[in-house]
Structures are given as structure tokens and as C-alpha cells.
Amino acid sequence: MKRPAGLQTIIVYKLAKSVVQALLGVAFIWLLARGAEAGAATFAEFLLEHFTGAWAAQLATVLVRATTPGRVKLLAFAMIGDSVLSGIEGLALRAGRWWAPWLVVIATSALLPIEIWELARRPAWGRVGIVGVNLAVVAYLLRAAAREHRAAMQPPPAQASGMPSRAPPR
């Protein structure tokens, strides 16, 4: 099935995001099984041994201070939940379900106010990129859905003889 490039890009993005988030969710569950604090300390030690930049020391410090079992459980739940949703979105778009664009628009738009608020509070290039991608996805899918709706509402073309294709009901 030939799809527009924009739609194909969104499908690939949603499916890749789903896989990455599932892997992160499994990693957080593994971290919990090992002991959240011990796992964070091990990863921080790895960072400090293998990377020399100041960013590695800062990341290691943040990991050790911020890693609690409750936070890791929340991250694991969020990653796996969003992974499932992104997978459903990507597969539904790929299958051409009529409701798929609306699911993506609603799910993506629902979090945009929070993302914009966070961007305004603490500007960062990563946040700008996330908000930009999400706005582009919503705009593209809304335009595509509106185009499909207009096409579905147009009457069928008249036959060459000028006669209607069906007899009027009696």
C-alpha cells in the first residue's frame, strides 16, 4: 500500500518510539529487581569510569540522588504504557484504520499544554524539538483527516450521459 511520505514517517516514528520505550521500561523493571539505588550507583560508576566529560559527573550525580524505587516504578509504568499506546497508534495508522489519525491527534494533543508549560518554565533545545515534532504530527494528521472528510462528503461524479447513476427512490 502506497502511503504519503509524511504518514509513513509518522508510522515509523511511532513504531520506533514504541520499541525504544518498551526497552527502557524493561530496563527500569530490571533496575527495580536489582534494587533501584544499587542499579543507579552501578550505572553512575560505569559513567564515571568510561566518560571523562563534566556531563558524565553531573549525570552520575543526578542519577544517584534522584533514583528511588517509587520514581523508577513510575518511569517503568510510564514507559511501558506509552510504548503500548505508541505501538497501537503506529499499527493502526499502518493498517489504515479510519480512527487512527484521530487517536494520534487526541493522544498527542492531550500532553501539548504540559509540554509547552515545561518549555516556558525551563527552556531547552530538547523540549523545543519534542514540542515541534508533536505539533507537526498533529497538524499533518488534522490536515489529512480534513482532506479525507471533504473527499468523502463530495457527491459521486455524474455519468457521461448526464443521467444520475441511480434512480430516485419511490
pLDDT of residue 76: 92
Number of helices followed by number of strands (H, E) in the chain? 6, 0
- Asked whether the beta carbons of 54 and 126 are under 8 A apart, the reply is no
Sign of CA dihedral 95, 98, 101, 104: negative
The set of residues, in sequence order, having a beta carbon less than 8 Å from that of 31 and lying 6+ positions away, is: 39, 40, 67, 72
- Asked whether the beta carbons of 18 and 86 are under 8 A apart, the reply is yes
Element (H, E) at 149: helix 125-153
> pLDDT tens track of the chain, all 170 residues?
788 999 999 999 999 999 999 999 998 898 888 888 888 888 888 888 888 788 888 888 888 888 888 888 999 999 999 999 999 999 999 999 989 999 999 999 999 999 999 999 999 999 999 999 999 999 999 998 888 878 878 877 665 555 555 555 55
Q: Where are the beta strands (DSSP E) in 59-168?
A: none
CB neighbourhood size of 83 (10 A): 20
Alpha carbon of 64 to those of 34, 37, 43, 69, 123: distances in Å?
A: 15, 7, 9, 12, 24
What's the length of the chain? 170
